[in-house]
Structure 1
Amino acid sequence: MFISALLTAFAWPAVHSSVHNVPIAVSGPAPAAAHVTAALEQRLPGAFQVTLLPNAAMDQKEVLDRQVYGAIDVSSGTPQVITASAASPAIAQVLQGVGNALEPSPGGVPTVRDIAALPVHDPRGAGLAAGFLPLVIGGTLTAVLLTNRVRRTDRRIAGAFGFAAAGGLAMTAILQFWLGSLTGDYWANAGVVALSVASTSMTLLGLESVLGVAGLGLGAIVMVLIGNPLAGTASAPEMLPGWSGALGQLLPPGAAGTLLRSTAFFDGHGAARPVAVLFAWLALGAVLSASGLHARRRTPGADPAAPVTTTATA
């Protein structure tokens, strides 16, 4: 049963992924922009949410600010497809294919320009996509280890932050300096990874404090079997089926993936929402841990330092 659930959780989003409601921009004279928009809808119905902009400079700004995944500029006569493979290699490839399929204009065939490319050592973003499962598992195992080895709540919290800091430094060093999957400021990237691990482990510690072992299992299911497959790190949240991509961005794995792309490739643009999500989960874990501790202190004969699953014996 567990293996079937695991297979379903990871295979369902991948099998049913497609491009839908992906935000892009189109710029140029109104008739030409309208023609391109209509051609996009005809070729891939419902695939794009198009924002009309006046020129290519605005296109580039919107892409680098992570407001859109790419753009098609027809203001110069020759269609130009602007992509950002660092935001999503899959969507960049789709945009390139769509651009190549546009009817050649009198100005020439469409050209493609990647203004936020992935590192040359990892041009497909494989390391970044593969690195998030170990990151999620790391946060989960941290919580499991602390609940089994540490009794006091304050020491558990300190341990969670300590493991997160060490894990953030180590995992980011591997991704950035060894595999070459990340660029940007190392310390900012390490902070993102540490925040992700901390939000996961703190949430699980809080759930265990309130619900016992069942809470630990519930948290692991949410993070590993729901959060990781719906994170969209291998493609994009907009490519996941239905509402699942939006849900994934409200969980630590999805928020961390979006935030790490922002710090590594876009100078922090688009970071506000995922930062808020991660800190919300961190705060939830702290509140749950405090609630569990308070409940144990009010229980006659209970050990305030012991996990909620511990019972007094004669």
Structure 2
Amino acid sequence: MSSHSSPPGTGRKLTWVVLGLAALVTTMLCAFALPSLHSGPHHIPVAVTGPQEATEALRANVDADAWDVRLYETSTAVQSAVEDREVTGGLALTDHGVDVYTATAGGPSATSALTTLGEGLAAQHTTHATVHDLVPFTDDDPRGAGLTSALLPMIFGGIFPAMILNGTFPGHRGIRTRLTGALLFSVVAGAAVAAVLQFATHSIDGTYGLTSLGIALGVAAVSATLLGLQALLGTAGFALGSSLMMLLGNPLAGLATGPHWLPGGWDTLGQLLPPGASGTLLRVNAFFDGAGAGPPVLVLTLWVVVGAALALLADRRGTRTTAPRLTG
């Protein structure tokens, strides 16, 4: 037999690896390309108030696939709905013109589209539109560049610690140490990232402690998931988790545009993954005083719990495997 011959099963294993990599590249292409090709307003919730005839006409004439029009009694109610994240923006039809209420920090693309809608409506009635940005970005970062740039550090802040902890504390005996280290690092990372965004770049407002805890929860969701998958499935599990976070979670997070700018289905999937939930939680803590934080907190907590459960399951299996057998 030749010394260069491959071990049995090599061809089959190579086939599965090639197919898996091909599926990964295809998924990456779909996740990055398809949402971009079909991006735009998708059922953006907008509050409208004014004379019944005018509001009903607006409701009947706007693109129902783009706008989810919700009627409110007064302009004050519209403003409150925008500030509480019940809606993305609002329109108040008055005798003096059209008041457009926006929240740029909640989604710049939706704000631009709503402003265009309000100006077009005002032009139809030969009047003018006045834009009121109720929740803007900070004066030092009016375009929200700092907020958008925070996503990748939060993702890598979960991936890199999991990778380093796996190498530093390998094997079954290191599972609990790795998990503890990841959770502790998440708290430190949350405090550091929030400090940079709030005190160094002045990109966000809000309560520092609340923002840092939200970031920590997002980092913990990524790292706990990767550690759990690696402990249970090995290198393949870590690769699967990392791909999920980067190749699906990153492009579907909608942090730069807001989730309503992604096609239906893609936006929901993005918000169910840690990067999307982390971005939303950062946004609401930094600019909306935590309004609407419940769903992303729940999503991230579930990812942490699942990751920890997978790690503890692997730990239990390892304990059974290594336990000494008593002989009679």
Superposed pair shares fold, TM > 0.5 = yes
1:22 aligns with 2:51: no
Displacement after TM superposition at 1:25 (Å)? 0.9
For residues 269-293 of structure 1, the C-alpha deviation after alignment (integer angstroms, 9 at most, x for no partner) is: 0000100001000100111111000
Instruction: Give the match's secondary structure for 1:182.
Output: coil
Displacement after TM superposition at 1:197 (Å)? 0.5
Instruction: Give the match's secondary structure for 1:24.
Output: strand
Question: Does the aligned pair in 1 maintain the 2:100–2:118 contact within 8 Å?
Answer: yes
Q: Select the residue among 115, 128, 148 that pairs with 1:109.
A: 128
User: Which residue pairs with 2:185 in the alignment?
Assistant: 163
User: Which residue pairs with 1:251 in the alignment?
Assistant: 273
User: Which residue pairs with 2:91 in the alignment?
Assistant: 72
Instruction: Give the match's secondary structure for 1:249.
Output: helix
Instruction: Give the match's secondary structure for 1:169.
Output: helix
Q: 2-side partners of 1:239 and 1:105: how far apart? A: 26
Question: Does the aligned pair in 2 maintain the 1:19–1:47 contact within 8 Å?
Answer: yes
User: Which residue pairs with 1:190 in the alignment?
Assistant: 212
User: Which residue pairs with 1:278 in the alignment?
Assistant: 300
Displacement after TM superposition at 1:163 (Å)? 1.4
1:215 aligns with 2:242: no
Calculate the aligned-residue CA RMSD, in Å. Answer: 1.9
Is the helix fraction higher in 1 or 2? 2
For residues 228-273 of structure 1, the C-alpha deviation after alignment (integer angstroms, 9 at most, x for no partner) is: 1101001121211231110010111111111111111111100001
Q: 2-side partners of 1:243 and 1:256: how far apart? A: 18
Give matches, 1:1-314, under 5 Å.
Answer: 6=28, 9-41=31-63, 45-104=64-123, 108-151=127-170, 152-300=174-322
Q: Which one-letter code corresponds to 1:82 in the other structure?
A: Y
Q: 1-side partners of 2:36 and 2:199: how far apart? A: 29
Q: Which one-letter code corresponds to 1:89 in the other structure?
A: P
Question: Does the aligned pair in 1 maintain the 2:28–2:248 contact within 8 Å?
Answer: no
Question: Does the aligned pair in 2 maintain the 1:79–1:105 contact within 8 Å?
Answer: no
Question: Does the aligned pair in 2 maintain the 1:55–1:75 contact within 8 Å?
Answer: no
Structure 1 residues 40 and 106, CA gap change in structure 2 (3 angstroms): closer
Question: Does the aligned pair in 2 maintain the 1:77–1:106 contact within 8 Å?
Answer: no
For residues 199-236 of structure 1, the C-alpha deviation after alignment (integer angstroms, 9 at most, x for no partner) is: 10001101111111111111001111111110100112
Displacement after TM superposition at 1:145 (Å)? 0.9
Displacement after TM superposition at 1:5 (Å)? 6.0
Q: Which one-letter code corresponds to 2:226 in the other structure?
A: L
Unmatched segments (≥5 aa) in structure 1: 303-314
Q: 1-side partners of 2:129 and 2:322: how far apart? A: 75
Displacement after TM superposition at 1:298 (Å)? 1.3
Displacement after TM superposition at 1:160 (Å)? 0.4
Q: 2-side partners of 1:77 and 1:30: how far apart? A: 16
Displacement after TM superposition at 1:18 (Å)? 1.1
For residues 175-197 of structure 1, the C-alpha deviation after alignment (integer angstroms, 9 at most, x for no partner) is: 11222211111111111111111
Question: Does the aligned pair in 2 maintain the 1:25–1:59 contact within 8 Å?
Answer: yes
Structure 1 residues 54 and 141, CA gap change in structure 2 (3 angstroms): same
Displacement after TM superposition at 1:107 (Å)? 8.6
Question: Does the aligned pair in 2 maintain the 1:206–1:289 contact within 8 Å?
Answer: yes
Instruction: Give the match's secondary structure for 1:71.
Output: strand
Q: 2-side partners of 1:217 and 1:193: how far apart? A: 23
Relative to the length of structure 2, the TM-score reads: 0.86
How many residue pairs match? The answer is 299
Instruction: Give the match's secondary structure for 2:272.
Output: coil
Structure 1 residues 76 and 156, CA gap change in structure 2 (3 angstroms): farther
Instruction: Give the match's secondary structure for 2:90.
Output: strand
Percent identity over the alignment?
A: 40
Q: 1-side partners of 2:204 and 2:266: how far apart? A: 26
Q: 1-side partners of 2:95 and 2:222: how far apart? A: 48
Q: 2-side partners of 1:106 and 1:46: how far apart? A: 24
For residues 96-131 of structure 1, the C-alpha deviation after alignment (integer angstroms, 9 at most, x for no partner) is: 111111144779311111111111111111221122
